[in-house]
Amino acid sequence: MYLEIVTPEASLVAGEVESITVPGVEGEFQMLNNHAPIVSVLQEGKVKFKGNPTIAEAFQNKFTQEDGKWVLHISGGTVECNNNRVMVLAD
């Protein structure tokens, strides 16, 4: 599936991933290929994804790795998943 992570500063991530986990307000949830369409509000926490999308060079220092996944800490935002495309609008 295709992932984009966008902040008010810039587009941080774009590319293909195997999975993405986000901190929803009702709890953490994961999206895989062919996930049902969803729009959700995100709370403070970690966005985790597995794969090798392009991470903007100027923002690579915002990412860490845990258990083979890339991790980005966010303070909130929204996520939309539709037709194997995931868009995270993060604060």
Q: Supply the pTM of this predicted model.
A: 0.94
pLDDT at 30: 97
CATH of the domain at 53: 2.60.15.10
Q: How many domains does the chain have?
A: 1
65, 40 Cβ separation under 8 angstroms: no
Instruction: Give CA–CA dist 77/18, Å, rounded.
Output: 21
Which range marks the domain in which residue 74 is found?
2-90
pLDDT at 25: 95
Instruction: Give CA–CA dist 64/76, Å, rounded.
Output: 18
Q: For each successive 10 residues of the chain (91 residues), what is the average pLDDT?
A: 96 97 96 96 98 95 96 98 98 90
